[in-house]
Amino acid sequence: MSSVTSRAIGAVVGGFIADAAGLPIHWVYNQDDLNAIVAKHDKPEFIPEGHCPFYKLPTGSLSGFADQGCALLQSLVESKGLDLDNYKSSLVTRFGPGSGYDIDRSGEKPVLGPWLNGSLKQFLANHEEKKAKTGADSADVDSLSKVGPLVALYAGDPKLMSYVESTVRVTQDNDIAVKYAQAGAKLLEDYILNGPNPDAVQKLTGQVDADAKAEIEAVIAVKGEPHQEVAKKFGLGCGMPANFNNAIHCILNGSDDFAASVRFGLASGGDNCGRLSFVGSCFGAQGGFESLPADWIAKTTEGAKIKALAEELVKMRK
């Protein structure tokens, strides 16, 4: 079995490459249209032409969800640990004035450039106004999508859950966003510390509150149903718990084949990227860095940089 170090690096890199793989078909809500697009290619990942109806980026780019994780990863390495002020500065650098996200989106869609998620818009406005609380009242899956770097560094640390909460509230001052990010962080922590475990999701039901437990149990009850149908049933949008549920269903149906496992979530429709960062982190943690497809890393524009940062991050583990 892979080492904790390998699993921690796999969790970080796996999340980013999964997001990049699914970006060309991000936010395609009509599953019939999505299936027609995917049918034209040998594999659904890294499709050469972008089909997102809202924005268009070169294949290999990261979505706004994974870019939040990138800002966190960069900050953790620079600060040698969690420093919320530095994290805020990292977010402003990546998403704020003068960044690649600083573009006009008022015209026809898809816009040529990245999409700025709602919670980030509110964060930037609150930060500019120097408000003490910078987070938006948003229960979207952004919070879950960026836990990978934080868990990779702090898995096993009793302060991890408090770190997750304080990090999430920087951009999403919302209890649901925090709750499901913490639930996801507990699952990912288990995979990093202990490796693959078919009972890990069931174990998670004993570590969360009654509402989250009911959501997870509802997912377990439909484990054997086709993932695309389940995703539509729970809801294809960005909100939680729906997108958390979709991520958990994908994880339940995965195997030791990273690419094959991620493809469930990648081609499910709607906000695939919102769940792919977390899904990729969980599969990367289960198999370790050696389980990640080298061609996926190569096809991710920032793949080499992310790998290097992940290695620096994991060296800081105590």
At 239 the pLDDT is 98
**pLDDT given at position 318:** 85
Element (H, E) at 56: strand 55-56
| List of residues 6+ apart from 96 with CB closer than 8 A | 102, 124, 127
pLDDT at 1 over 90: no
Contact 155, 8 (CB under 8 A): yes
> Among 170, 166, 152, 202, which Cα is nearest to 318's?
152
Give the pLDDT confidence score for residue 83 in this predicted structure: 98
Q: What pLDDT, on the 0 to 100 scale, is given for residue 217?
A: 98
Has residue 21 got a pLDDT over 80?
yes
Give yes or no for a contact between 230 and 249, defined as CB atoms under 8 angstroms apart: yes
The pair phi, psi for residue 66, each rounded to 5°, is -65, -30
Q: What is the dihedral of CA 276, 29, 226, 266, to 10 degrees?
A: -30
CA distance 246 to 141: 11
Reported as a single tens digit per residue, the pLDDT across 236-270 is: 999 999 999 999 999 999 999 999 999 999 999 99
Question: What distance in Å separates the CA atoms of residue 176 and residue 290, rounded to the nearest whole number?
Answer: 34
Please give the backbone phi and psi of residue 287, each rounded to the nearest 5 degrees, phi first: -95, -15
Share of the chain above pLDDT 90, in %: 99
Q: Which of 250, 291, 280 is nearest to 18 (CA)?
A: 280
How large is the average pLDDT for residues 39-58? 98
- Which CATH number fits the domain that encloses residue 124? 1.10.4080.10
Which residue intervals of 58-174 are DSSP H helices? 64-79, 84-95, 118-128, 142-145, 148-154, 160-171
What residue numbers bound the domain in which 292 lies? 4-315
The number of domains in the chain is 1
Q: Is the pTM of this model over 0.85?
A: yes
Give mean pLDDT, residues 122-132: 98
Q: What is the pLDDT of residues 132-172, one digit of tens each?
A: 999 999 999 999 999 999 999 999 999 999 999 999 999 99
272-289 pLDDT, tens digit each = 999 999 999 999 999 999
DSSP 172-212: B--HHHHHHHHHHHHHHHHHHHH---TTHHHHHTTSS-HHH
Contact indicator for 182, 164 with CB cutoff of 8 Å: yes
pLDDT digits (tens, 9 = 90+) for 299-314: 999 999 999 999 999 9
